[in-house]
Amino acid sequence: MRALETLQSARELLEISGLNDADREAELIVSHCLGIDRLHLYKEDPDIPENILLQIYEYLRRRAAREPLQYILGYTEFHGLKIKVGPGVLIPRPETELLVEEAVKTVHTSHFTSLRILDLCTGSGCIALALAREFPDSEIYGTDTSEVAIRYAEENVDRNRIKNVTFLKGNLFDPLKNSDNKFDVIISNPPYIRRADMENLQPEIKDWEPGEALDGGEDGLDYYKMIIPESKNYLKENGYLVLEIGIGQSDEVKWMAEETGFKDIIVIRDYSGIERILIAKKG
């Protein structure tokens, strides 16, 4: 069977399964299994060997069962990096790319002399790695409680050939407790979904992604209540706290930062107009 005929069949299977972006996902699955890009898929319309065809239909079966496409392919693109993901680690979102972009702008306007960054709840390591590549002379640390997540993060270091990142297993600041580490920037995309909302998430998220990377407690604010007060102990003077926040949480998170003594607090909207990023300077 030729590629374009297979592609059409793949689209139809995904549409029947109720997936909204069947065209794009079919293209990604077929081109990934063939090891070619989208342009060559359409231009060359290669014949597909039987073993590859079986792989394509196995991937389609898994996707129809609502397994995340990124887990099936084994990776996702993030800020120009190829990030390995799979069961047990959160899939990076476009909103988190915005978090990185805003952190980069903050660093560029602050003129730090020796840049040190701490990424809390690092997961796949995508934030830490994106910032490490952006600032190759910096020193980056990432922490996470999940052994699985740390394993993915370390694999992503090797995959992307980035040298200036260290990942540590432990809850938030705990791996740094016995050191005098101070950072110019502390950044985090912590769990922030309200517990009552967890059951309403898409099947791809609810049934597949790790709940501990999503569940922010009853009000979704548990991690901010821990991160914001303690971050002042780990930030240098005039250092920045950069946080991704959930829908409707900006007022409460901003209030926490103000009560802790942060200044110059700003909130940035995401691509959908939702208040998504909070940046605060140590007072």
Domain spans, the chain: 3-65, 78-281
Cα 3 from chain centroid? 32
Cα 215 from chain centroid? 15
Are 100 and 127 in contact by the 8 Å Cβ rule? The answer is yes
Q: How far is the C-alpha of 96 from the C-alpha of 244, rounded, in Å? A: 7
Structure tokens at 97: 């790319």
Q: What is the dihedral of CA 152, 158, 163, 167, to 10 degrees?
A: 20
Structure tokens at 134: 């952006």
Q: How far is the C-alpha of 97 from the C-alpha of 266, rounded, in Å? A: 18
Strands (E), 103-212: 116-120, 139-144, 165-169, 183-188
- Between vectors from CA 110 to CA 182 and to CA 150, what angle results, nearest 5°? 45
CATH 3.40.630.40 fits 78-281, yes or no: no
Nearest alpha carbon to residue 70 among 94, 53, 48, 99: 94
User: Which tens digit of pLDDT belongs to each residue from 106-154?
Assistant: 999 998 888 999 999 999 999 999 999 999 999 999 999 999 999 999 9
Are 188 and 119 in contact by the 8 Å Cβ rule? The answer is yes
**Residue ranges in the chain whose pLDDT is less than 70:** none
